[in-house]
Amino acid sequence: MAHLTHQDLYSLEQYARVRDGFRARVIEHKKLRRVAIGDHAALYFEDALTMQYQIQEMLRIERIFEHEGIQDELNVYNPLIPDGCNWKATFMIEYSDVEERKAALARLIGVEKAIYVQVDGFERVQPIANEDLDRETEDKTASVHFLRFELAPTMAAAVKQGAKVLAGIDHPHYQAEVVIEEQVRGSLAADLD
């Protein structure tokens, strides 16, 4: 997938006019990009559309309209767009109760290294995690991690041909595995071009 450029973005004025419709489109799109792994964890697979939305919202909130500021946002979010041989995902640990979340984050140190995807017939693929910065301390992990899953060409080809894909976590304090739903798998297959 190509990275986003200034030409792919709406001006602040244009975005104000199209925001509601664009936001609705992105929300629908994201439904095909989320994979729940157990009750308290999920992968949100990113692509050019999800990153365009993120950039547009940041530009709107921060009232950024100058070329350099827009380029800064592009530089931050473009690395989260898959490049044709990988999947990039935001991993979130999701507990609605604050105290329960705090306890879980203390137990789940290293969870970002325990996540995997597995294409049917191939070995598990562990992610490259948090390339921008370390997101854990000796006392706890973060509730959000950024992951990159590098797929071999044979794995990518199998996904595009309809192979089943699993996502899971194999951590001493959190074990879960799911088969990625067909519609979601199809959406993710489109990232592998």
Flag whether pLDDT at 183 surpasses 70.
Answer: yes
Assign 130 a pLDDT band (cuts: 50, 70, 90).
confident
Which amino acid, one-letter code, is at 88? K
Q: Rounded distance, CA 43 to CA 189, Å?
A: 15
Residue 143 burial (10 A CB sphere; 0-12, 13-18, 19+): middle
What's the pLDDT score for residue 136?
66
Give tens-digit pLDDT for 12-62.
999 999 999 999 999 999 999 999 999 999 999 999 999 999 999 999 999
The pLDDT value recorded for residue 139 is 84
pLDDT digits (tens, 9 = 90+) for 163-181: 999 999 999 999 999 999 9
The rounded percent of the chain whose pLDDT value lies above 90 is 88
Is the predicted pLDDT of residue 132 greater than 70, yes or no?
no
CA-based torsion, 118, 36, 89, 29: positive or negative: positive
User: In whole angstroms, what is the distance from residue 84 CA to residue 121 CA?
Assistant: 20
Q: What is the pLDDT of residue 135?
A: 63
Tell me what pLDDT residue 2 has.
Answer: 78
pLDDT in tens, 92-123: 999 999 999 999 999 999 999 999 999 999 99
CATH topology of domain 37-46+82-193: Immunoglobulin-like (2.60.40)
Q: Where are the domains of the chain?
A: 1-31+48-81, 37-46+82-193
Q: Is pLDDT at 133 greater than 70 in this prediction?
A: no
pLDDT of residue 111: 94
